[in-house]
Amino acid sequence: MKKIYWHHERFRIYQIKQLLDDHQIPNFIKNEFAIGAIGELSPLDAMPEVWLTDDAWQDKASKLIDQFNLEPKNTQSWVCDKCHEENEGSFALCWNCGNSVSTIASEN
């Protein structure tokens, strides 16, 4: 087993876990709920981490994570053509009706 990624934001940890899961790379989250124990534990001991259950996947997992970190993050909000709700730029689907942002872009 090998630690492949850590971050102080749980959301980033879940994004990386999902990325690895999508590529069938066996992994798990360590210290998922330990961040609340900072003060009793050292911050370094309580940070959420993504671990690989098989070290043989390290090269592929590292490349995927590096590529993920290089991808530009969309921060510009968009308005759904179907229901006219405003959505955060990071949303690929409208939070209100489920319409896809790519569908919206191709219809304009």
Residue ranges of alpha helices (H) inside the chain are 10-22, 43-46, 58-70, 101-107
The model's confidence at residue 73, banded by pLDDT at 50, 70 and 90, is low
Residue pLDDT, tens place only, 27-69 = 999 988 776 676 777 777 778 899 999 999 999 999 999 998 8
Mean pLDDT score across all residues of the chain: 84
pTM of the predicted model, to two decimals? 0.62
Instruction: Give the Cα separation of 51 and 85 in Å (integer).
Output: 38
Instruction: Give the Cα separation of 46 and 8 in Å (integer).
Output: 9
pLDDT value of residue 54: 94
